[in-house]
Amino acid sequence: MSGAVDPVAAAEERARIARARLETSAAALRERVDPRTVARNAAEGLREQAEAAAAVARRNPGIVAGTLAVAGLLIARRPVLALFRRRGKDTAGGDTAGGAKHSITHTAREGAKGKPQ
C-alpha cells in the first residue's frame, strides 16, 4: 500500500504547518505592538496629515486666517469680554456707591424692604 497515508504522520505535518503559521503571526504581532514601531507609525501619520493640512492652507489662506482668528478669540474670550466690561463701566459715569446699593449681596444683607436683618 504505497498510496496509503499514515494518519499520524499527516496529523503531525498539519500540526507542524499550524505551529509555523502561529509563530509567524506571533512575530508579526510582536513587531506591530513594539513601542518603537507604534511611535514610528504615529509620526509618519502625523507628518502626512501635516503635509495635507499645509497644502490646504496654501490653497485657502483666507479661510485659515479666519479660522485661526475665531479660535484665538474663543481661547481669549474671557479677557476680551472683561476688557469691554471695564470700558463700559468706566464710560458710564455713574456713581459706584449707587450701583452697589442695588447689588444682590447688599439686598440680601439688608432684607427685601431695605432694612437691616
The residue type found at 44 is: E
The whole-angstrom separation of Cα 29 and Cα 44 is: 19
Close Cβ partners of 114 (under 8 Å, ≥ 6 residues apart): 107
pLDDT tens figures, 75-116: 999 988 888 887 666 555 555 554 455 555 555 555 555 555
What is residue 60's three-state secondary structure?
A: coil
pLDDT tens figures, 8-63: 999 999 999 999 999 999 999 999 999 999 999 999 999 999 999 999 999 999 99
The whole-angstrom separation of Cα 64 and Cα 57 is: 6
pLDDT tens figures, 59-73: 999 999 999 999 999
